[in-house]
Structure 1
Amino acid sequence: MKVGLIGDHSFIVTKDMLASAAGSGTVAVFATPVMIAQMEGTAMRSVMPHLAEGQATVGTYLDVHHTAATPEGMKVSIHTELTGISDNGRFLTFKVEARDECGVIGSGTHERAVITIDRFMEKVNAKKTQ
């Protein structure tokens, strides 16, 4: 895995992606939490082929601005770029951007942690016994 790794994903905004349907608002426009989920998913998929078997990534940080509204039926494109890898290789930093057919609608920074799935889930499930 190297800095500069790119992720791209495009889709059409559907009714279930609207703020009024997602529960994040009352207006029929592309929902911020859906935009963020698409950014996270695009970043995640961009690095998956570079992980060892039994590894995954989890989101740990987001600093994103949603700057323009997008109506149902319009195409949105997500672009991510891996801009940093921690010295121990466990933390990944991405530049993220969303565009609709008229221009940029959101941008920011996203960080993910590389985890070993079994060990991670053991720690998570241990919370049930506390």
Structure 2
Amino acid sequence: MADLSALKVGLEGTASALVTEERLATNVGSGNVPVFASPMLLALMEAAAVNCLEGHLPEDYQSLGVQLNVAHTAPTPIGFTVTAKATLKAIEGRKLTFDVVANDGAEQIGSGVHTRIVVDTPRFMARLAAKSLPRP
């Protein structure tokens, strides 16, 4: 097991994105209204969690998102900047749980819980490569 002692409950990370044409629901297949797309919100929340862990994981380890339970509660038009914040709320072995929240400068637009698992990168990549081999 990796030494995860550098991880502490309460660590925070953020990520921001300008709402552009490419990030609208109408362009990512998640709806017919030109607003910030839910898949983009989820990606931003995951990025905030990844940023939270930056510099706190051992060498050759990284985290992988395994669960998101998020409510997207308000629309955001093009031109706004959305900022997501992730706060590490629980550490259970390799399982990390984050509270995530996002706002667009005018109001909170989403919140929820995100879970990530810490993995040994070389081992994970070997498993992935084995899965990619042709099957008989």
Q: So what's the TM-score if we normalise by structure 2?
A: 0.90
Alignment of 1:103 onto 2:107: yes
Q: Offset at 1:128?
A: 2.2
2:70: which partner in 1? Answer: 64
Q: How many residues align?
A: 128
8 Å Cα contact 1:30/1:69 also seen in 2? yes
Paired letter, 2:56: H
List runs of 5+ in structure 1 lacking aligned partners.
Answer: none
8 Å Cα contact 1:78/1:98 also seen in 2? yes
- Computed over aligned residues only, the root mean square deviation of the Cα atoms, in angstroms, reads 1.1
Moved over 3 A (4+): none
How far, CA to CA, are the matches of 1:49 and 1:22 in structure 2? 32
Quote the sequence identity (%): 44
How far, CA to CA, are the matches of 1:11 and 1:62 in structure 2? 19
Q: So what's the TM-score if we normalise by structure 1?
A: 0.94
Give the structure with the higher percent helix: 1
How far, CA to CA, are the matches of 1:85 and 1:101 in structure 2? 30
How far, CA to CA, are the matches of 1:23 and 1:125 in structure 2? 30
2:18 to 12, 33, 46: 12
Q: Offset at 1:33?
A: 0.3
Q: Offset at 1:12?
A: 1.8
8 Å Cα contact 1:48/1:56 also seen in 2? no
Q: Offset at 1:127?
A: 1.4
Paired letter, 1:6: E
2:84 to 67, 78, 88: 78
1:122: which partner in 2? Answer: 126
How far, CA to CA, are the matches of 1:16 and 1:42 in structure 2? 20
8 Å Cα contact 1:39/1:98 also seen in 2? yes
